[in-house]
Structure 1
Amino acid sequence: MTQARRVAAGLAIIGRMKASHCEQLDIRGLRYNVRHWGAADAPAVFFLHGWMDSSATFQFLVDALAHDWHVIAPDWRGYGASEWLGRPYWFPDYYGDLDALLAHYSPDRPARIVGHSMGAAISSTYAGVRPERVAQLVMMDFLGLSTTNDTDAPGQLAGWLDNLRKEQPVRCYPDHDTFARRLQLANPRLSDARAAFLARNVSRTLADGRVTMAGDPWHKVASPVRYQAGDVMASWRGIRAPVLMLLADKGYVAERFADAPAEIERRLACFADMRRVTITESGHNLQHDQPEQVAAAIEGFLARD
């Protein structure tokens, strides 16, 4: 597809999209960008994006919703139009950011939350330690990371220390069309029109005109502390809200635990009130691949005011 045709396809799909607007606010000393779809007096639901992504990733899913909702979708710190640190990130800060965001937008009532990937990781752990703040939780293609070994810890810390001495490289593309093709290479299910939209809305244009993903490259530096699956599962056991687990049939959960189906069931058993739905013909980014399936499942689960 030529660049001109790709741009035209992107503009055509934009013409059919539900409009959003963004606001900037201070969250724990950082400038946060928060995207809104829908009327402010509609039932509120928070959409939380994943790693190396941003709030615009939910556009196709929002377009597929049949009912009126006030969708509140922040760009996490270091992503999209929120403030970038330019240094290593500490994952627990996201729990603090979510706590502050809910205090701002939903101070008097527990929130409906839809989290994809890292957004599901943050919101599910949070829901276990602040169960009174979450009314309903949708987890999109996330069931924790693989279990790590004690022997991994020294090397992980050493790698983190090594990275502190380096500039983190920014992967750039000459234009949005090239970036769109790269997105389709990573996810062949993306249509030309959707790839064109994402290339312009989950990216950042540099001063020289080149295009990069709208995520601080420091996010790609692995944590100095190894992942503790047991700690995460202990938090899940504290969730009181009903949970909708949306798993893509060709997503990361299916890939990560392909040889350990019993581990999937062990982790699912942590949730006291859980409904499981498989999204078919979908990779990890199910909000891109099958937004209609995802929207139907979410709206069949969420309770309206």
Structure 2
Amino acid sequence: MHPTIAKHASRSEFLTVRGLRYHIRHWGDPQAPKIFMFHGWMDMSASFQFMVDALQREWHVIAPDWRGFGLSERSPADAYWFPDYLADLEAIIDHHAPGEAINLLGHSMGGNVVTLYAGLRPERIARLINLEGLGLPTAKPEQAPGRFVQWLDEIKNPPLLRGYATLEEVATRLQKNNARLSDERAAFLAQHWAQQDGSGLWQILGDPAHKQVSPILYRVDEMMACWRRITAPVLWIEATDSDIGRFFGPASLKREEIDRRIACIPRTQVEMIDQAGHMLHHDQPERLAQLIETFLAQPA
């Protein structure tokens, strides 16, 4: 496999964020308008490369690796807590755009974080882009005892991630997750998604602790209360062939629940991208970039 050659090279910055060494990836002229991009679960900042290459205007794209992912430092605790992502996000934008209202984009878990943040700090957001950041199904209180017990058991026996003999095996693993991923794009992502250890194995750049169950139930009503406070225009983008909604049950219930969540955001433009799955920024980066730039160009 020969990796895709990036049209726009990125550059790395390492920044101390709330006591952790964070990796921040930058593309474009630092004087250009900014877009902050936050990746999803078990992903990393270089995942946005194909979409960045498809942008037509000059932008300064700022994309961190979340704590415990990519080249950012892992949490010293044995678990990851959602509020930490919010505080990390705020520290990063305070550093790179102090006092500014920003363009903010997130995918999947990152989409959930940025949309929640946009409701908590509405004055900091000029425009918001949510890529498949649907959130999780509504949890019920009676799930709590079992969830706590499961968490207590898992922290005694932390999960592990397997190593891979070659980068080609890593690329093949990525294609197993997403059959639409070309050999060239898979090879590009593999070299950022894994790193060789002392024994020669390629290890995924994600803390295995992320795979532990959270003892904190997902409270949809609280999330929606935050979303209702958003004042910025929001571009909500889904992929027609995404499987992320499988957690919601039958397709009819999934659509009903997602629409209920979208409806609580005051100013939302909803777009669907065909021939794309959950990793829509890998599958249709050109269409995605077009939608994003059209949205950002709209009058305030």
TM-score over 0.5 for the alignment?
yes
Per the alignment, residue 274 of structure 1 pairs with 268
* Aligned match for 1:300, one of 291, 294, 297: 294
Q: For residues 160-199 of structure 1, what are the structure 2 equivalents within 5 Å?
A: 160-199=151-190
SS at match of 1:245: strand
2: CA distance, partners of 1:187 / 1:208: 28
Q: Aligned letter for 1:269?
A: A
SS at match of 1:276: strand
Percent identity (aligned): 47
- In the TM superposition, residue 302 of structure 1 has moved relative to its aligned partner by 1.1
SS at match of 2:252: coil
2: CA distance, partners of 1:17 / 1:230: 42
How many correspondences in the alignment?
295
Deviations 1:169-212 (A, max 9, x none): 12211111011111111111000000111111122222111112
Residues 1:124 and 2:115 are matched in the alignment: yes
2: CA distance, partners of 1:203 / 1:243: 33
Deviations 1:245-279 (A, max 9, x none): 01010114554442312222211101100000101
Per the alignment, residue 259 of structure 1 pairs with 252
Per the alignment, residue 209 of structure 2 pairs with 218
Residues 1:47 and 2:37 are matched in the alignment: yes
Q: Aligned letter for 1:259?
A: S
Which stretches of structure 1, 4 residues or more, deviate above 6 A after TM superposition? none
SS at match of 2:70: coil
Per the alignment, residue 3 of structure 1 pairs with none
TM-score (norm 2): 0.95
RMSD of aligned residue pairs (Cα, Å): 1.4
Contiguous gaps of at least 5 residues in structure 1: 1-5
Deviations 1:223-248 (A, max 9, x none): 11111111111111010010000101
Per the alignment, residue 241 of structure 1 pairs with 232
Q: Aligned letter for 2:252?
A: D
Query: Contact (CA 8 Å) 2:158, 2:208: kept in 1 or not?
Result: no
Contiguous gaps of at least 5 residues in structure 2: none
Residues 1:152 and 2:143 are matched in the alignment: yes
Residues 1:71 and 2:64 are matched in the alignment: no
Per the alignment, residue 196 of structure 2 pairs with 205
1: CA distance, partners of 2:10 / 2:219: 37
SS at match of 2:270: strand
Q: Aligned letter for 2:116?
A: T
